[in-house]
Structure 1
Amino acid sequence: MNQSLNLANLVNLSSSVAKPRYARDELKAGILHIGVGNFHRAHQAVYLDDLFNAGKDLDWALMGAGIRAGDRAMRQALEPQDWLTTVVELEPGANIARVTGAMIGFVPVNEDGRAIVDALDDTALRIVSLTVTEGGYCIDPATGSFNPEHPDIAYDAAHMDAPRGVFGVLLAALKRRRDEGRAPFTVMSCDNIPHNGQVARDAVAGLADLVDPSLAAYVREQVAFPNSMVDRITPATSDRERTILMERFGIQDNWPVFCEPFRQWVLEDNFPTGRPALEDGGVTFTPHVAAFELMKLRILNGGHATIAYPAGLLGIHFVHDAMADPLVRGFLDKLEAEEIIPCVPPVPGVDLQAYYQLIARRFANPDVGDTIPRLAQDGSNRQPKFILPSTRDRLSAGADVTGLALESALWCRYCAGTTDAGEPFNLDDPNASRLTPAALAAKADPASFLDLRDIFGDVADAPQFRSRFETALKSLWRDGTRATLQCYLNGSS
């Protein structure tokens, strides 16, 4: 019989399901996490759950928080199950389920962030961690710098008494701590952004510049923003995953998390007010986070983008099916080997070719059930972070960009909103309203898509890139994705 997930029912769950070995009432919150999504619950929460199971650092439990509608939905799903989550690791023939209990509460989600500011009056909360997506940092995509004119920033600068953006919330809480003579919390970004700690600091301090220069100086001088690299493939949850969980493990969980077995967390050790002993759970602390981070963003996240758009245009839904397609897999292998990996600087203790082979095996895992629409979403934020930096590096070195230009052309063709077979699909991107018209105009004039300068920046000015992009896009419209990929693999594009 299926059991609803909650503390009272833990004892009734199958013996095949791992359960917390600690008493929940012994936990105390030390981290407030903003953006409680699938990745956070499959990553940071799992590391902490491991630590608590070992009887360590029980005063570093999680308090959930959020300011978006999706955060409210997550809170409503988790509250009746006492904030517990079922995490299922997916390895073919060896699926493993565990219930994690590292989160012990969730701040009410309102239209503004005053409840979070109030919660952060508790000085036991010494870390605020973030997973607010790549697009949540108010960055100008073309420059990679903080954008003080972003609407969320402009609003919060004028409404610091009731901020509704994550950085307004953080600044209001830090201001209160400063004014009351209490130690600031550490801000720990866990998002896939180069130098994510520095980017978070630029956003908080940049907002402070608009409000109070002395507060901006306080943020820059007194608040820690450690850089990090995080990695675990975690698909979106659907009824498919809920059904699998009930059929295989007998658990009824409103929002379970399915993920690959692999996980990695590399952190800069910059926590002035303390931190949990995450190294005991496998976290790597190193001053070389940037090297790991760049490797992952270029090879893994860039690899995701590489397969997403040709697979989407071919009507392929699952990532493992895309990896089984010889043309899509061939495109990935060639682009990584010839244009992406050569741009990645050495990483201490890592063989980049072996790292890529690991990535390819992870992509091909059929049990994960990761989807092409998930990889393809939010391209206007992801392209400038995952693909265009490699393009820019190769152009600066005078190297060829045939494959990278083809990737950009595939994204442009995907933004037109139809598959090669003419089937329409939803373009899941905050800038879809301007991407689609630009992509359709590019069918006749490829350069019109490159006029999205906030995305392409100076890459759009490079004659070699423009020529390669134009050739690839014309081929995609004229001959289709398969023929274009085949030409690239044959070396005739």
Structure 2
Amino acid sequence: MKPTIALKQENLGLLPPNIKVPSYDRDKVRTSIVHIGVGNFHRSHEAYFTNELMERYGVMDCGICGVGLLDYDRRIYNILKDQDGLYTLMVKELDGSVSARVIGSLVEFLFAPENPIAVIEKMASPDIRIISLTITEGGYNLNEATGQFDFSNPVVVEDMKNPLSPKTVFGYLAQALKLRMQRDVSGCTIQSCDNIQGNGDVAKKALLNYVKAAEPELLPWIEKNVSFPNAMVDRITPVTVAADIQKVTDQFLVEDQWPVVCEPFIQWVIEDDFVAGRPEWEKVGAQFVKDVVPYENMKLRLLNAGHSVLGMLGALHGYDTIDEAARDADFNAFLRSFMDVEVSPTLGNLGGIDLDSYKKSLIARFQNIYMKDLISRICLESSAKIPIFLLPTIKAQLQGDGHIERAAFVVAAWCKYNDGVDEKGKSYVIKDAMSDELIRAAAQSHQNPKRFLEIEPVFGDMIKNQAFVAAFIKSLEMLRSKSVKECVVELEKKLA
């Protein structure tokens, strides 16, 4: 057996030819981006685009400094520190072939709980032009019902009391931007890379809400000197599992403690609104546009909602991965009808986009048997996802007296999902910031089906809509008496 090689800068020249390594001199890379939330998606997406710009065009002024804000981030911090910021990106094609490259664009990493002042100073540096975020849908701390910043959140309360030892992204941003203002440093761009409609607008709203209470004198400066471009991001990137780590070792002879696996498809559509300049990511495939809305509506309501559809149905049935659910003929037919009948009419004018081809490509991506995207990953934090991915379709259809039966069925399936056990009797953990309330409401829905829709932070006032409530109750009653596959088949026959 050939010896394996630990992934470090000094060992890049020793790696076998079947894995691509950075050809640029990483010592000459200058950092101009701080990224908060260095998870798998950032490493398959923004860091990948940036690496390609360095590799193919020799652009050396767009290095990334990663920041881990949470105690949970200690592991990725330690691993990337040990590996000089390097990691393997493994792309799994639909035909089963695999390619791999080492990404080198992440040239610094700071662990905020260890040294918060260092993070604030880095973000305040004149060299930093962009502060980008992948903090998940729930990380913006906005109440779904009111749309306002949640100042009752205990960590926000702490940040208000101890501004120089913040815990939240908004605490850090406020202090860093305050330093930039005080030191007469130029503004910067805050770029959300999260799956949220109008993610730049959401980031701006959340930050300004916080700053208005915490540092009100900073508001005019932010309005004048900071931009928040909206963007649509897309690349299916599952959780790294032990088999992926072993695959990198066996096929590429690389000892990588946390490689990233992704699909070949990648898309990044961005409003061109950068107050301090930006990398020319368009040279490596990103799209800069005036209006992101048509792209993000299409992606959020089809891809992300499609994931939630397959996740909820698959979880109840007892599937483990998205490709299993997507290759189930009954679930596949339900998903396609949901896309065609309920989502597509809400998308409006998409210009030159071939919507039918896009939907077909989504099905193929979901069915990629080599990705093994875990259903548990798709279902986690659904209280933050459902209001963004699924409910806008229901609301739009209700306004036009359109079909909502399938979307309401998915909401009912989510309610049943919170019972915590699949149809094979296997229990699972509800991983959600609102898990206590979700589990309690789901339990109470056995006697009072409307109880689940009373979760105001998720549903707002949708319980007042009789058509939606009726469709939800009908679906929940079906799911309480029959298997999810029986329900799906019956529903499709009725709606055909």
Coarse TM-score class (shorter-chain normalised): over 0.9
- Separation of aligned partners in 2, 1:87 and 1:400: 41
What residue ranges of structure 2 are gaps of 5+ in the alignment?
Answer: none
Q: Give the SS at the match of 1:392.
A: helix
Residue 371 of structure 1 is aligned with which of 366, 371, 374?
374
The partner residue of 1:5 within 4, 7, 10 is: 7
User: Structure 1 residues 146-155 or 226-235, which shifts more?
Assistant: 146-155
CA distance in 1 between counterparts of 2:282 and 2:495 reads: 49
Q: What is the TM-score with the length of structure 1 in the denominator?
A: 0.97
Aligned mates of 1:51, 1:156 — CA distance in 2: 37
Displacement of 1:70:
2.5
2:157 corresponds, among 154, 159, 162, to 154
Query: Is the counterpart of residue 30 in structure 1 residue 1 in structure 2?
Result: no
1:112 deviates by 7.0
CA distance in 1, matches of 2:462, 2:115: 38
Aligned residues of 1:231 and 1:265 also touching (Cα < 8 A) = yes
- Pick aligned residue for 1:51 from 39, 53, 71: 53
Superposed CA deviations along residues 403-461 of structure 1, whole A, max 9, x for unmatched, are 11101000000011010122211111111111111111112211011110111112221
Helix, strand or coil for the counterpart of 1:129? strand
Q: Percent identity of the aligned residues?
A: 34
Q: Equivalences for 1:332-371 in 2 at 5 Å?
A: 332-371=335-374
**Within 2, Cα distance between the matches of 1:111 and 1:210?**
26
Map of 1:165 onto structure 2: 168
Q: Deviations over 1:466-489 (max 9, x none)?
A: 111111111111112121111111
Kindly provide the amino acid, as one letter, of the partner of residue 49 in structure 1.
N
Q: Which of 328, 331, 334 is 1:328 aligned to?
A: 331
CA root-mean-square deviation: 1.4
Contact kept in structure 1, 2:145 and 2:456, CA below 8 Å: yes
Corresponding residue for residue 141 of structure 1: 144
CA distance in 2, matches of 1:331, 1:460: 25
Of 406, 419, 424 in structure 1, the residue corresponding to residue 422 of structure 2 is 419
Partner-residue secondary structure (3-state), 2:264? coil
Q: Distance in 2 between matches of 1:403 and 1:2?
A: 50
Number of the residue aligned with 1:309: 312
Equivalent-residue separation in structure 2 for 1:492 and 1:273 (angstroms): 53
Q: Is 2:381 the counterpart of 1:400?
A: no
> Do the aligned residues in 1 keep the contact of 2:133 with 2:192 (CA within 8 Å)?
yes
Contact 2:341 2:403 in 1 (8 A): no
Distance across 2 between alignment mates of 1:237 and 1:212? 40
Secondary structure of 2:362's match? helix
| AA of the residue aligned to 1:60 | C
* Segment drifting more, 112-121 vs 43-52: 112-121
**In the alignment, what sits opposite 2:466?**
463
Which AA in structure 2 matches 1:90?
Answer: K
TM-score after normalising by structure 2 = 0.97
CA–CA separation in structure 2 for the residues paired with 1:143 and 1:192: 20
Contact 1:114–1:169 at 8 Å: present in 2 too? no
CA distance in structure 1 between the aligned counterparts of 2:112 and 2:326, rounded to whole angstroms: 39
* 2:295 aligned with 1:285: no
Cα distance change of structure 1 residues 18 and 158 upon mapping to structure 2, 3 Å threshold? same
What are the superposed Cα offsets for residues 33-86 of structure 1, whole Å, 9 maximum, x if unpaired? 000000000000110111001233201110111211232211111111111010
Structure 2 counterpart of 1:85: 87
Instruction: Show structure 1 runs of 4+ deviating over 4 A.
Output: none
Question: Comparing 179-188 with 385-394, which one deviates more in the overlay?
Answer: 179-188
Secondary structure at the counterpart of residue 238 of structure 2: coil
> C-alpha distance in 2, partners of 1:459/1:388?
9
| Alignment-derived partner of residue 73 in structure 2 | 71
| SS across alignment from 1:97 | strand
SS at match of 1:164: coil
Secondary structure, aligned partner of 1:161: coil
1: distance between equivalents of 2:59 and 2:126? 16
Most deviating of 128-137 and 345-354? 345-354
Q: For 1:114 and 1:450, how far apart are their aligned partners in 2?
A: 43
Preserved contact between residue 71 and residue 109 of structure 1 (Cα < 8 Å): no
Residue correspondences, number: 493
| Structure 1 residue ranges without an equivalent (≥5) | none
Q: How far apart are 1:110 and its partner, in Å?
A: 1.2
Residue 111 of structure 1: how far off its partner (Å): 5.9
CA contact (8 A) 1:391 1:459 kept: no
Which residue is 1:385 aligned to?
388
